Amino acid sequence: MTTTLVPFVHDAIRLQEACWVNGRPHFTRRAIGQWLGYRHPQKAVDNLIGRCPHLRDPRWSVALKLRGTDGKEYDHEVVDPIGLQLILFESRQRKAIEYKIAVASLVWAYMSGQLKPYSGRRMWT
């Protein structure tokens, strides 16, 4: 199956290369690195994944054929929302730190009873 990349925007997260797999957004490592502001985006995220064995877990990514701007198909591994968060947790970039603080704040709000679980439809399915 060949997949087309589209931009993904959710609040402050704006990734230029995303696709939808089984109703869930998936992201290229290059797009994650670009959003984080790395000088060499793909290489930086590949290095994070290389250093952290839990990021290589196949539950967080899927291999796809993506069509490039040259019209050719290329094999790529795209990362799901959990994989994206795990990569952000390992990064020391400013945006990643802001994201970690936001997540910690949400967890604290939930633990202290200020935030209730969402009871509507699930977000990523």
The per-residue pLDDT for range 73-106, each reduced to its tens digit, is 888 899 999 999 999 999 999 999 999 999 999 8
CA distance readout (Å), 41 to 19, 34, 70, 73, 77: 18, 5, 21, 21, 15
Looking at residue 123, what is its pLDDT? 44
Q: How far apart are CA 67 and CA 76, in angstroms?
A: 10
Domains of the chain, by residue range, sit at 2-111
Looking at residue 119, what is its pLDDT? 63
Looking at residue 80, what is its pLDDT? 96
What type of residue sits at position 83? Answer: G
| Cα 20–Cα 107–Cα 104 angle in degrees, nearest 5 | 85
Looking at residue 115, what is its pLDDT? 76
Q: Which residue positions in the chain have pLDDT lower than 50?
A: 122-125
What is the value of pTM for the model shown?
Answer: 0.84
Looking at residue 66, what is its pLDDT? 83
